[in-house]
Structures are given as structure tokens and as C-alpha cells.
Structure 1
Amino acid sequence: MLKCYDCLEKSKENEAVGICIVCGKGLCMEHIKQVEFPMKGGYPLPHLNLKKDLPRMMCRECIDSILGEDFCV
């Protein structure tokens, strides 16, 4: 089974429930965060926003690095 990378750094063992889409770390429920990005349509109507945001799973480190510390999840 895949283990949570952040937990292993703290000498704990928890099973991962998902993977960060940016860095690929396995993460447990305590460390994984769901981020919803607004998505735009594609060809032939690229200017339209989709009706529903798509959820993405990320680690806190990648959220802070990419979206900034002020981004609230």
C-alpha cells in the first residue's frame, strides 16, 4: 500500500488516499487538500466557463508554492 509521504517524514505510518497532482506525493486524509479550479470550455467554444468547477487534489506545499499562502482551501 502507498503510504503518506508527509506522515513518513514525521515517523508516522498512514495509508495514502490520493496523490498530489503537482508533485506526485502520496497523501493521507490529514494532508491532502481539495482545490476547485474554474475550468474553461474548449473547441469550439473556448470562451465559455464550464458549469461546475473540477476538483483537484494537492498537498499544502504545492498550494502555497503555486497559488500563494493567502489562498484558502
Structure 2
Amino acid sequence: MMKCYDCMEEGKDSEATCVCITCGKGLCTDHTKELELPVSVGQPPNVERLPNGLPRILCKYCFDQTIEDSFD
């Protein structure tokens, strides 16, 4: 079974429940951040945003870097 990488760095032993889509680290639910990407359909000028986006799971480090890079 895959172990949570961040827990290992803290000296804990937890099973991973997901993988960061950016760096590939195995993570437990305590060490994940969810980023919802908006989804749009249609062709301009008739573009419609769907009510539910695509959930993306990231580790806290990648989440912080993604948010920081997006607003520089």
C-alpha cells in the first residue's frame, strides 16, 4: 500500500488515499487540497459554464505554487 509522503516527513505512518496531480506524491486526506477547475461548453458567443467543475487534488505545496503563479 502507498504511504502518505507528507506524513512520512512528519514521522507518521498513514496510508495514501490519493495522488497529487502535479508532483505525483501519495497523500492522505489531511494533506490534500482540492482545486475545482471550471468547465465550459459551447462555441463563442454561446459559451455556457457548467454548474459543477472538475475536482483536482493537489498537495499543499503544489496548491500554494499554483495559486501563487496564477496571480503574479
Count, aligned residues? 65
SS class of match (1:23): coil
In the alignment, which residue of structure 2 is the partner of 1:71? none
Q: How far does residue 39 in structure 1 lie from its aligned partner after superposition?
A: 1.7
* % identical aligned pairs: 45
Q: How far does residue 33 in structure 1 lie from its aligned partner after superposition?
A: 1.6
CA distance in 2, matches of 1:9, 1:37: 29
Unaligned segments of structure 2, at least 5 residues: none
TM-score w.r.t. structure 2 length?
Answer: 0.79
Alignment of 1:54 onto 2:38: no
Q: Partner letter of residue 67 of structure 2?
A: L
Flag the structure with larger Rg.
2
Q: Aligned-residue CA RMSD in angstroms?
A: 1.3
CA distance in 2, matches of 1:51, 1:10: 38
Moved over 6 A (4+): none
Residue by residue over 1:38-64, the C-alpha shift from the partner in whole angstroms, topping out at 9 and shown as x without a partner, is: 1223xxx24332231111111110011
